[in-house]
Structure 1
Amino acid sequence: MKTFLTCFALFVMGNLSAQSFSIQGRILDDQSDTPLEGAHISLMHPWGEIYKTVLSGSDGRFALKGLSKGGYRLRISYIGFEDFEREVTLSGENADLGIIRLKEGVQLSEVEIKGKIPMAEQRGDTTQYNASAFKTLPDASAEELVEKMPGMVIENGKVQAQGEDVKEVLVDGRPFFGNDPTAALRNLPAEVIDKIQVFDQKSDQANFSGFDDGETSKTLNIITRPNMRNGQFGKVYAGYGWDNKYQGGGNTSIFDGDRRLSFIGQLNNVNQQNF
């Protein structure tokens, strides 16, 4: 019985220590009460380091999940509106901030002093991320870049944007690696990327007939830097470790105007099957 009680206590303590919380709210235009879609929400530690970011949805709602207890600074920004900032403390329950109204007007002096590139902007139905606003290592892949973008998740080999599975990746509006978004992102270096667009692409039938059948698929369009649209790039990697385990491979891509050629290969004995 003593052993059982000890194990039960440890189980409860483990669950309590792993408990997480969330911060949610809804962002509206102060004048018209219109929901502001694509507002950029940053959650920061008290010393200013960004902890998590997210974009508001079409109804203006946002949710920052998986948070630990403690104090945070919340900042909301939207093009053409004044920034909103407040302190938020999580002390044992989720925080619902309710309605947050942003006032029109931009403090130009702050913009001129900081000179920061916006992480994302909303253009109609398309969310556009600026690659230059995210820091990556020199040899990072597009996958590593996308993981840093708010609203983007890569988990168990699947790419998700705004809560939906990404079905296709385009490069400058053209298909890249067919219907395998993960392979496309893993084999494209981050340094060639200028912007990444996220949108709902109509079905082939709708594009062909001109009639909207309501069928859409979440799509990423990678816009490359103008000086990177003609040339070759790639990488080679290899490793050897304990118990004679090894892994090696490489990829190279050739961009020449409208042509996109990619060659990939790998060899290993660690049951790595995807590229």
Structure 2
Amino acid sequence: MLFSKRLLLLAFFIGLALSAYGQSKPLIGQVLDSLNRPIPYANVVAINQSTQKIGGFGITNAEGRFKITLAEGPSYLLRVSFVGYVQFESTISEWDSEKPLNVTLQQADTELGVVEVVSELPVTMKGDTLTYKTDAFTTGSERKLEHVLEKLPGFQVDENGEVKVQGKKVDKVLVDGKTFFDGDTKLATKNLSANAVDRVQVLKNFNEVSPIRGLDTNETLALNIQLKEGKKNLVFGDLTGGAGPEERYLGHVNAFYYAPKLNVNLIGGSNNVGEQSFTLQDYFRFSGGLSGLSSRSGSRVQLNSEDLGIPLANRTNAFDLQSTLGALNLNYSPSKKWRHSGFLIASTSANQLGSNSLRTYLNSGEDTQEQLNSESFVENKSGLAKYALTYTPKEETYLKYSLFGKLSEISNSNDLNSNFGEINQRIDSRNTRTPYALQQKLEWYHAPSERHVFSTELNWESKFSDPLFDLNTNLKPLQGLYPIADAETYRLLQSQEITTNTWEAAFNYYYILNPTNHLNWTLGYQNFSQNLIGQLEQVGSE
């Protein structure tokens, strides 16, 4: 009995010791040069002296600051390095998580002789490109690209699949240098297989139009996902399926084919468990299609969107939610001069909501309680398509034609029943609309010399929407606001037809003074028109 107690006590202290040993805390600091200026994108590595493995890794931000999390207990060899500076090394075993560690790097004055590469650095910086070797950070248990990015220092991935690097939002995603679903981050992070990723490149100030690189002011941040050699010229992907009680089901498929000239990506899925592969936020992000010229020319014309009023369906407020997605992405380059690209996305969602509530009002009347029942049904069907043809006969010339279209069918039904003592009111309403849009754009850029750049852009867009509001109730609505004829039941219809047309053209000439300054002359033309036809009527009245 005494032996058993001693054994349990020993096990307790061993567990306590292991728990204390397994605790971790952050190591924070800042990397500066000899003039106390911050050094961004410096590599910070902590090597466990017991195992000789990397215990933590990070890179400095724009202010030269870093933060890595290390397990307490062992001592570490801290190495800080950056191109052009002498590598810093220091052994640490105790550190204060609240007190920053200042590291000063001295500039290297001697030229490098013969360098023998022993192993590949996990992070390298060259110009505006920061490259991560993903195998240095992953464990092999990752399933999707988002799980890989979460392991990389400086990366953040939210639940919607949007990515930030050093706090700045990523605008586009490329796969082997080619646009993936028009650069959408969510479809890439949620679907691209983790075991196919070899490197992740962060491209600062990204612009696919070579003649105007360095001239635009929008600091676009892009990711280029480089695939492993074994995943090229090969079809790969995954299939997920599941079923459960109450007729619940889940199915999802990804298929990818990458080759030097042809890239094809297919994504499909359907479920009724509340997982939305394509949300309304995604629809709005894609439905921008081709950006207009107004923002760049200084215009501030604001036209009514044909998508306003689309109800939001999500699994946090749904009694039942069904969604289906089908998406196809294509990149085809028959030669170095020509490239065809585009995507097709079709999605549906049906969301049922409902609530019962009992309200008590503080007043002097007899009827102070209201029984309110509500039921809602939201259905959204949408289709998006884009095609682009790019011609680059030489590096200084760029020509692109783009065609974008979208079509939706949206309906939102709400049934309310209010029982307020002797007063019982029923309100049934329905919102429907079938908007569509078509846009074409032509772009030409040419740089005949280092100091002269010319560009011409033409944009045409047509939009249509027909929102319809159908209201049924047993009590007279809009009293004092709109004349309503007396009836046993009341039905009001409000219909609209909104047509929008846009013509834009812009010619630009840039004169390059130096790498950081240039003069820009713009000649532009804009024509916006919008027609609205609306009607409000009472059905069943004379």
1:214 aligns with 2:205: no
Q: C-alpha offsets along residues 195-244 of structure 1, whole Å, 9 cap, x if unaligned?
A: 2210223457x756556132121100122334533221110012345665
1:38 aligns with 2:37: no
SS where residue 213 of structure 1 aligns? Answer: coil
Q: Which residue type is aligned with residue 173 of structure 2? A: V
Q: Which residue type is aligned with residue 177 of structure 1? A: F
Question: Which protein is bigger by CA-based radius of gyration?
Answer: 2
Q: Cα gap change, 1:125/1:209 in structure 2, threshold over 3 Å: closer, same or farther?
A: closer
Structure 1: which 5+ runs fail to align?
A: 1-19
Q: 1:159-198, aligned counterparts within 5 Å?
A: 159-198=163-202
Q: 1:1-275, aligned counterparts within 5 Å?
A: 23-28=28-33, 35-43=38-46, 47=50, 50=54, 52-59=56-63, 61-64=64-67, 73=76, 74-78=78-82, 81-87=86-92, 89-90=94-95, 94-102=98-106, 104=108, 115-137=118-140, 140-157=143-160, 158-202=162-206, 209=212, 212-241=215-244, 245-274=248-277
Q: Which residue type is aligned with residue 82 of structure 1? A: Q
Deviates more, 1:118-127 or 1:195-204: 195-204
Q: Is the Cα contact below 8 Å between 1:168 and 1:179 reproduced in 2?
A: yes
Q: Is the Cα contact below 8 Å between 2:43 and 2:80 reproduced in 1?
A: yes
SS where residue 172 of structure 2 aligns? Answer: strand
Q: Cα gap change, 1:103/1:227 in structure 2, threshold over 3 Å: closer, same or farther?
A: same
SS where residue 181 of structure 2 aligns? Answer: coil
Higher relative contact order (CA 8 A, sep 6+): 1
Shift of 1:274: 2.2
Q: Cα gap change, 1:146/1:102 in structure 2, threshold over 3 Å: closer, same or farther?
A: farther
TM-score, length of structure 1 as denominator length: 0.72
- Give me the identity figure in percent: 25
Q: C-alpha offsets along residues 31-62 of structure 1, whole Å, 9 cap, x if unaligned?
A: x7765432211356675565543212345x12
SS where residue 125 of structure 2 aligns? Answer: strand
Q: Is the Cα contact below 8 Å between 2:79 and 2:87 reproduced in 1?
A: no
CA distance in structure 2 between the aligned counterparts of 1:225 and 1:22, rounded to whole angstroms: 33
Q: Cα gap change, 1:245/1:77 in structure 2, threshold over 3 Å: closer, same or farther?
A: farther
Q: Cα gap change, 1:227/1:156 in structure 2, threshold over 3 Å: closer, same or farther?
A: closer
Q: Cα gap change, 1:67/1:224 in structure 2, threshold over 3 Å: closer, same or farther?
A: closer
Q: Which residue type is aligned with residue 275 of structure 2? A: Q
CA distance in structure 2 between the aligned counterparts of 1:210 and 1:55, rounded to whole angstroms: 26
CA distance in structure 2 between the aligned counterparts of 1:243 and 1:50, rounded to whole angstroms: 48
Deviates more, 1:67-76 or 1:82-91: 67-76
Q: Whose helix proportion is higher, 1 or 2?
A: 1
Q: C-alpha offsets along residues 122-149 of structure 1, whole Å, 9 cap, x if unaligned?
A: 1012111123433342773322222221
Q: Which residue type is aligned with residue 44 of structure 2? A: I
Q: Is the Cα contact below 8 Å between 1:71 and 1:89 reproduced in 2?
A: no
Q: Cα gap change, 1:102/1:272 in structure 2, threshold over 3 Å: closer, same or farther?
A: farther
Which residue does 2:495 correspond to in 1?
Answer: none
Deviates more, 1:48-57 or 1:117-126: 48-57
Q: Cα gap change, 1:232/1:197 in structure 2, threshold over 3 Å: closer, same or farther?
A: same
CA distance in structure 2 between the aligned counterparts of 1:75 and 1:246, rounded to whole angstroms: 51
C-alpha RMSD of matched pairs (Å): 3.8
Q: Cα gap change, 1:103/1:211 in structure 2, threshold over 3 Å: closer, same or farther?
A: closer
CA distance in structure 1 between the aligned counterparts of 2:128 and 2:214, rounded to whole angstroms: 18
Shift of 1:160: 1.1
Q: Is the Cα contact below 8 Å between 2:129 and 2:201 reproduced in 1?
A: yes
Q: Is the Cα contact below 8 Å between 1:52 and 1:64 reproduced in 2?
A: no
Q: Cα gap change, 1:23/1:119 in structure 2, threshold over 3 Å: closer, same or farther?
A: same
Q: Which residue type is aligned with residue 142 of structure 1? A: L
SS where residue 216 of structure 1 aligns? Answer: coil
Structure 2: which 5+ runs fail to align?
A: 1-24, 279-542
CA distance in structure 1 between the aligned counterparts of 2:164 and 2:101, rounded to whole angstroms: 26
Which residue does 1:5 correspond to in 2?
Answer: none
Q: Which residue type is aligned with residue 230 of structure 1? A: N
SS where residue 89 of structure 1 aligns? Answer: coil
Q: Is the Cα contact below 8 Å between 2:58 and 2:68 reproduced in 1?
A: no
Q: Which residue type is aligned with residue 90 of structure 2? A: E
CA distance in structure 2 between the aligned counterparts of 1:99 and 1:242, rounded to whole angstroms: 58
Q: Which residue type is aligned with residue 129 of structure 2? A: T
CA distance in structure 2 between the aligned counterparts of 1:180 and 1:38, rounded to whole angstroms: 26
CA distance in structure 1 between the aligned counterparts of 2:103 and 2:236, rounded to whole angstroms: 48
Q: Cα gap change, 1:53/1:248 in structure 2, threshold over 3 Å: closer, same or farther?
A: same
CA distance in structure 2 between the aligned counterparts of 1:175 and 1:231, rounded to whole angstroms: 18
Q: Cα gap change, 1:65/1:174 in structure 2, threshold over 3 Å: closer, same or farther?
A: same
Q: Which residue type is aligned with residue 188 of structure 2? A: A
